[in-house]
């Protein structure tokens, strides 16, 4: 994160981002079992696409949901960075000419610009694959049944019924008109699935009761909706220098987002409503969910 705020929540988010950075750098250091012997250029492209940037919101949510249930932070760490690897792979692939065709990401050239298209595809593939290895090898930290449950859910949320499926629907929407419900479904898959996983992961790590696990899942789904609405709003209202990526792309492509369909006032209202819903879902957890409540506000009202 570039602009430093001394707000306690943002400080906490920044500290978590720094932990993610250190753990990701270690996982991509070339000495770790999962990548030792990888070609240098491929490893450099993986690092370019994943290190030194981003809000690291998803790892933060994994950490905070784990904390809520008293899970060991050492157990949360591999899940957090695995999820970030998948997020980074999705950004690398989304930026490719065959998809969103972007030159700028996190204020830097996208991976296919800094390297080439084939290397960017492979770097994304390798980050996705690495993610599952990272969770699988956390054998000292995560109880085997919980580890399998995490791998299974991560596969679903990242795959055809989750993020990849949402991206497929998004690409299809370029040649057909989606109504508001179809847009919401596409976004729940494309963006919401990984965020919902992040929120649910802590409950799985701690072997929490089904009702508590469902509540965290619901919180993550609401957060995903708010995240995407805020993202679409920023695409309309912020500039590329602030975002570190191109702005105004949806309107330029005639792509219908919920803010474009319903207007900015409706969007701000809806964001308020979603924050209220997230707070209500977290109410049974009392003060220990304070950071997750603040995360909902941050996601909805962020400026980048
Ligand atoms: C290519 C399989 C595949 C999926 C792509 C993530 C995604 C699906 C597309 C990215 C396009 C996009 C702008 C989606 C909106 C939500 C989103 C994921 C924004 C980027 O996430 P942030 O804001 O990024 O958390 P940082 O850089 O902070 O990590």
State which ligand 1 atom lies nearest to the alpha carbon of 53: 27
Which residues, at least 6 apart from 238, have a Cβ–Cβ distance to it below 8 Å?
247, 303, 304
- Mean pLDDT calculated for residue range 51-71: 96
What rounded mean pLDDT belongs to the chain? 93
On whether the pTM is more than 0.85, the answer is: yes
- Per-residue pLDDT tens for 6-44? 889 999 999 999 999 999 999 999 788 999 999 999 999
Nearest to 16 by CA among 8, 249, 47: 8
Q: Ligand 1 site: residues with CB under 6 angstroms?
A: 54-55, 57, 87, 90-91, 93-94, 99, 106, 163-164, 167, 190-191, 228, 231
What pLDDT is recorded for position 247? 62
Nearest CA to ligand 1 atom 5: 90
Nearest CA to ligand 1 atom 2: 164
More confident position, 46 or 261: 46
Give the chain's radius of gyration (CA, Å): 18
What is the set of domains in the chain, with CATH numbers? Answer: 8-301 (1.10.600.10)
Which residues, at least 6 apart from 251, have a Cβ–Cβ distance to it below 8 Å?
235, 236, 260
Query: 300 near 226, Cβ under 8 Å?
Result: yes
pLDDT of 1 over the 60 cut = no
* Rounded distance from Cα 233 to ligand 1 centre (Å): 14
Pocket test for ligand 1, best of 231, 236, 248, 300 (most atoms within 8 A of CB): 231
- Per-residue pLDDT tens for 159-205? 999 999 999 999 998 888 888 899 999 999 999 999 999 999 999 99
Pocket test for ligand 1, best of 191, 224, 228 (most atoms within 8 A of CB): 191
């Amino acid at each position: 994160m570039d602009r430093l705020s001394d707000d306690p929540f943002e400080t906490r988010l920044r500290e978590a981002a720094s932990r993610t950075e250190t753990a990701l750098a270690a996982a991509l250091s070339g000495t770790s079992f999962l990548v030792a012997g990888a070609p240098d250029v491929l490893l450099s492209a993986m690092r370019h696409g994943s290190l030194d940037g981003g809000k690291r919101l998803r790892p933060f949510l994994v950490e905070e949901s784990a904390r809520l249930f008293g899970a060991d932070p050492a157990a949360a760490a591999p899940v957090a960075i695995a999820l970030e690897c998948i997020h980074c792979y999705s950004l690398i692939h989304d930026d490719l000419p065959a998809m969103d065709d972007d030159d700028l990401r996190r204020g830097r050239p996208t991976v296919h610009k800094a390297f080439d298209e084939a290397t960017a595809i492979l770097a994304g593939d390798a980050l996705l694959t690495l993610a599952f290895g990272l969770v699988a090898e956390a054998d000292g930290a995560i109880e085997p049944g919980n580890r399998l449950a995490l791998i299974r859910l991560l596969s679903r949320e990242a795959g055809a019924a989750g993020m990849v499926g949402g991206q497929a629907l998004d690409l299809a929407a370029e040649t057909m008109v989606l109504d508001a419900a179809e847009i919401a479904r596409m976004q729940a898959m494309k963006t919401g699935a990984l965020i919902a996983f992040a929120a649910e992961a802590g409950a799985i790590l701690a072997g929490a009761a089904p009702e508590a696990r469902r509540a965290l899942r619901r919180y993550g789904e609401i957060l995903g909706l708010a995240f995407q609405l805020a993202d679409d709003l920023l695409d309309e209202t912020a500039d590329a220098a602030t975002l570190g990526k191109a702005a105004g792309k949806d309107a330029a492509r005639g792509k219908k987002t919920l803010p474009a369909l319903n207007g900015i006032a409706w969007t701000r209202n809806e964001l308020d409503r979603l924050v209220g819903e997230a707070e209500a879902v977290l109410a049974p957890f009392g003060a220990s969910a304070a950071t997750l409540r603040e995360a909902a506000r941050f996601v909805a009202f962020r400026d980048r």
